């Protein structure tokens, strides 16, 4: 079992930045690929970004490329999502997830590939 707890969400203005954190406990954090997803009211949960076990491979949804950055610190059992130039359409609950994905997998975008999920943190971007 892996327990995931997100933090760092909040209310910001358009153009601001936020860094989300996801702290993991339980089984070995470095054994899992990690992903960030988000869900806006009335919408499907969508892929934001993913990172391989060792951090050498990173993946982004097209709309986040250049604005968001994912990283992980296996010594601290934490994965981060740096979000810059935030837009009102980035408003959503952001979730981190852990899964058994190979580094070069093309399935990081698929929420069904992840076995463990956090409770989510709200990000609200005002215009």
| pLDDT of res. 26 | 75
Per the rule left: phi > 0, alpha: psi between -120 and 50, beta: everything else, 40 is: beta
Give 90-99 pLDDT, tens digit per residue: 999 999 999 9
Q: What is the pLDDT of residues 15-62, one digit of tens each?
A: 999 999 999 997 689 999 999 999 999 999 999 999 999 999 999 999
For 75, counting Cβ atoms within 10 Å of its Cβ (0-12 exposed, 13-18 middle, 19+ buried), the class is: exposed
Q: How confident is the model at residue 103 (pLDDT cuts 50, 70, 90)?
A: confident
88: helix, strand or coil:
helix
DSSP state at residue 106:
S
Q: Phi/psi at 65 (nearest 5 deg)?
A: -60, 135
Give CA angle at 115 (110, 117), nearest 5°.
Answer: 90
Q: In whole angstroms, give the CA distance from residue 11 to residue 30.
A: 31
């Amino acid at each position: 079992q892996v327990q995931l707890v997100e933090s760092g969400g909040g209310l910001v203005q358009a153009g601001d930045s936020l860094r989300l954190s996801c702290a993991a406990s339980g089984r070995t954090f470095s054994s899992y690929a990690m992903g960030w997803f988000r869900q806006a009211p009335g919408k499907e949960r969508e892929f934001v970004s993913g990172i391989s076990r060792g951090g050498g491979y990173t993946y982004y949804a097209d709309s986040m490329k250049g604005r968001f950055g994912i990283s992980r610190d296996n010594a601290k059992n934490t994965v981060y999502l740096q979000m810059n130039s935030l837009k009102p359409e980035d408003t959503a609950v952001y979730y981190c997830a852990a899964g058994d994905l190979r580094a070069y997998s093309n399935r990081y975008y698929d929420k069904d590939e992840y076995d463990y999920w956090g409770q989510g943190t709200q990000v609200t971007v005002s215009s």
